[in-house]
Structure 1
Amino acid sequence: MKLLTLNCHSWQEENQMEKIQHIARAIKEQAYDVIALQEVSQSIDAQVVKGNIKQNNFGLVLQQELEKLGVSDYELVWDFAHMGYDTFEEGLAILTRHSIKKTHSFFVSKSTDTDFWKTRKIVGVTVEVQGEEMSFYTCHLGWWSDEEEPAKYQMKQLLEKVKGTEPYFLLGDFNNSAHIKGEGYEFLTSTAGLHDTYLLASEKDSGVTVEGKIAGWDENKQDLRIDLILASSPPSVTSSKVVFNGQNRKVVSDHYGVEVTLEI
């Protein structure tokens, strides 16, 4: 089983369509079972296509590019979290090839005001894999030291909400570096007992998903591992690889992606 997580930085990239097409080709080649995407945006004034998904929704455009490649078995689940860059409705998405039994969407931030850019929502699916139900959540959390929207509060809310959907995986941009002691990464792993698939992987690389300063990490000068795939119980992990980093596929965002292969 293959999982992918990627913070898309959608519609903020140069040559955006070319990058979407590159992501689509990678998905076709790797046939990921579940794809978790963050910063999945659509224009406020775009035409509604289905439900709350509009014509230029990044996830929908990616799905359409996959269909052009002859890949039509991915179902898209998306929801709106907060306004981004004044003109976009920013949300989170999951694409999966498996039969969806249930969808999940809930706020984890103190704020539920979608006009506030620090408002955080989680989107998830429960799917059937080889006769077993498993849940996958795409996550984009805040920063540990943020006084308005502390990550610890959001993490506690997240863990409470996903309880009862085991086995589950949390995939995404946690905005808490695995290299920083005593903060969000340790809270999720050491305190909450989640299992980092990167550490469990038989084959792994550096794990670095952010280099230098990006939005939200304006003073950053270090390599960061903030895009993670965490599990409620320890799976057998064949490999964990950083993708879209210029070495393993072209760069498509200000974050690199993470690809994990599980034995299920």
Structure 2
Amino acid sequence: MKVLTLNTHAWMEDDPYEKLDALAEQLAESEYDVIALQEVNQTIDAKGIKDDTFIAPEEKVRAVPIKEDNFARLLIKKLKRLGLTYYWSWAANHVGYDLYDEGVAILSKVPFKAESQLVSESEDYASHYTRKVLKASFDHQDRQWAVLSAHYSWWTDGNGRHLFEHEWSQTLDMIRPEERKTAIVMGDFNNDPSVQNEGYALVRRSAPFLNDAFETADVKIGEATVEKEIDGWEDHSDLKRIDYIFAGKGFDVDQYKVTFDGKNGPVVSDHFGVEALVRLKLT
């Protein structure tokens, strides 16, 4: 199975429609089985719309309807014209830049059951510290798979409150014991492994059933996913690996590859993408 995660920085890029086209064309060429997207925006004031390929997630906190300029919806339409049909789901995290419903999405070639869960302590929709994780569950190769798309907060906020730790703990509760071997958690973690005793170390310590695809892949192509200052990482212009694919120990990871970096696909966002080829282990 070929999977991808990408923080799309939707509608915030220069020439956004050209980059949307470039993204769709590269996705159509790569034919991913499952795609996790973050910073998937839609204009707050845009018109609401129905979509037959949209899978509304089960939500306990604030279900925001999809709107006509939802970035994932437009991407799905372009992929359809390029010959690929994806089912998709989306859940809103919070208001982005006073203009957007900002959320996370999952695209899949096969239908799935979707649910989202508030993982942050904040429930204020106006706060960028409010975060949900979107989960897709589906049957594949006689196994129950769980794929999660997440966009986490930083290790702490400006007041020293530990944000990521709570969000990650809540995420682990979304993965049932029987799903652990075939769980894939993807997204923007906003934590770099070079920083000791923070988010990355917590993930490795608290979730021994998950492997970092970069660490375990037989073939590695690229590493860093951000190479400049971005929102939340001001004064950090050095290379950073903050976008991850964590796969359950029931998988072998044949390849880890940084994409949409100008080498392996066009640059379409302030983040690069990460793809992985995962294969169920023979038992």
Aligned to 1:210: 226
Give runs of aligned pairs for residues 44-63 of structure 1, distance below 5 A.
Answer: 44-50=44-50, 52-63=65-76
Compared CA separation, residues 84 and 20, structure 1 to 2 (3 A): same
The gaps in structure 1 that reach 5 residues or longer are none
Aligned partner of 1:12: which letter? M
Greater than 6 Å deviation, 4+ residue runs: none
TM-score by length of 2: 0.89
Show the counterpart of 1:253. 269
TM-score scaled to structure 1, two decimals? 0.95
1:176 CA displacement: 0.4
- Correspondence for 1:41: 41
Per-residue CA distance 1:64-84 (angstroms, 9 max, x = gap): 11112122x200100111000
Counterpart of 1:77 in structure 2 is: 89
Amino acid across the alignment from 1:168:
A
In the alignment, what sits opposite 1:161? Answer: 174
Deviation at 1:19, TM superposition (A): 0.9
Deviation at 1:227, TM superposition (A): 0.2
Q: Does 1:88 align with 2:100?
A: yes
Name the structure 1 match of 2:53. Answer: none
Post-superposition offset of 1:234: 5.0
CA shift, 1:149, in A, is: 5.5
Change (3 A) 1:263 1:192: closer
Measure the CA separation in 2 of the matches of 1:258 and 1:116: 28
In 1, distance between residues paired with 2:145 and 2:207? 19
For 1:9, the equivalent position in structure 2 comes to 9
Specify which of 192, 197, 200 is matched with residue 185 of structure 1: 200
Partner of 2:81: 68
2:117 match? 106
The unaligned stretches of length 5 or more in structure 2 are: 51-55, 57-64
Say if 1:99 and 1:128, in contact at 8 Å, map to a contact too: no
Q: Does 1:219 align with 2:230?
A: no
Q: Kindly provide the amino acid, as one letter, of the partner of residue 106 in structure 2.
A: I
Matched position secondary structure for 1:223? coil
Aligned equivalents of 2:161, 2:44: Cα separation in 1? 26
- In structure 2, distance between residues paired with 1:232 and 1:143: 24
Deviations 1:159-201 (A, max 9, x none): 1222343321110000000222211111101332121011111
TM-superposition CA deviations, 1:85-130 (whole Å, max 9, x none): 1010001000000231x21200110011211111011011001212
2:166 counterpart letter in structure 1 = Y
Does the C-alpha gap of structure 1 residues 37 and 138 become closer, same or farther in structure 2, counting only changes over 3 Å?
same
SS of residue in 1 equivalent to 2:224: coil
Cα deviation, 1:13-34, whole Å, max 9, x if unaligned, reads 1111111111111211111010
- The SS at the match of 1:241 is strand
**Alignment correspondent of 2:30:** 30
Partner of 2:237: helix, strand, or coil?
coil
Distance change >3 Å, CA 234–CA 210, structure 1 → 2: farther
Please show how residues 140-179 of structure 1 align to structure 2 within 5 Å: 140-146=151-157, 147-148=160-161, 150-164=163-177, 165-166=179-180, 167-179=182-194
- Aligned residue pairs, count: 262
Aligned-residue sequence identity (percent) comes to 38
Answer whether contact 1:211 1:221 (CA < 8 A) is retained.
yes
What is the DSSP-based 3-state SS (H/G/I as helix, E as strand, rest coil) of the residue aligned with 1:17?
A: helix
The match for 1:119 is 130
CA distance in 2, matches of 1:75, 1:200: 29
Matched, 1:237 2:253: yes
